[in-house]
Amino acid sequence: MLRVCHEQQFLTREHVRAFFPENSSGREARRRVGELERAGLLRRIPCPVQEGTFLVRTTAQGRAFAVNEGSPHIRPISTLAAATLLHDALVTSVRLRLRHLWSARFIPERAMKEGDYPTIPDGVFVFASGKAVALEVENSDKGVSRFRRLAARWNDVAAIDAILYVTRDEELKTKLQYYLKGASTTKPLGVLAWPALRVGRPKVWTLRGEFPWLDRREF
């Protein structure tokens, strides 16, 4: 929990309940957060987009603990931006869900170096083979021209072998599938909707049909 909180900058109460451990009760989530708060490793802050609820963030001591356990050194954001909070929360949810399906190391966005990843995705899953899948979480419709332009950028990123897009809902997934059909891309692109991923192991839509990407141990 501390490592993910440090790497993703914050966790919501739902993250804790759903993933630490998976599908735990609200009471257990509150107990675990309270235990880490009393140890000086986590702190609660008001959620800027949902009144009456809170987010949890690591303290300086919590960040030091996470780094000691293998997390990268990441400079904390002083103030979380309300404009990107829902997107960032969804990235964390997707990361945590895929952790249960893929045996791969995750590199968070803020740990990437521009020299290795001139195009910075929301995260990268690196498999034992060395193959890497970029994660792009889409929470809004950027329009056909922009999506196709962004997809084409991956052609020149040698560190990435495939790109997985996860959309906020099925409607955006359908739009993205249409947009990507006209993209000038040379790398495998996959699209999933978060509601389906959240509860199961759906097949991934690609330009060549639907495939069980989530069942793969290597790429």
User: pLDDT 10s per residue in the chain (219 long)?
Assistant: 999 999 999 999 899 989 987 767 778 878 888 999 999 999 999 998 888 889 999 999 999 999 999 999 999 999 999 999 999 999 999 999 999 999 999 999 999 876 677 789 999 999 999 999 999 999 999 999 999 999 999 999 999 999 999 999 999 999 999 999 999 999 999 999 999 999 999 999 999 999 999 998 777
Residue 119, Ramachandran bin (φ over 0: left; ψ between -120 and 50: alpha; else beta): beta
In whole angstroms, give the CA distance from residue 13 to residue 5. Answer: 12
For residues 189 and 183, is the Cβ–Cβ distance under 8 A?
Answer: yes
Q: Which fold has domain 2-80?
A: Arc Repressor Mutant, subunit A (1.10.10)
Alpha-helical segments (H) within the chain: 2-8, 13-19, 26-38, 60-68, 82-99, 144-153, 170-181, 194-199
CA distances from 146 to 66, 118, 137, 160, 173 (A): 37, 18, 15, 20, 15
In whole angstroms, give the CA distance from residue 138 to residue 145. Answer: 15
Q: In the structure encoding, which two tokens stand for residue 74, read together?
A: 């990441």
State the pLDDT at residue 113. Answer: 78
State the pLDDT at residue 72. Answer: 94
State the pLDDT at residue 6. Answer: 97
pTM to 2 decimals? 0.94
State the pLDDT at residue 114. Answer: 67
For residues 164 and 131, is the Cβ–Cβ distance under 8 A?
Answer: no
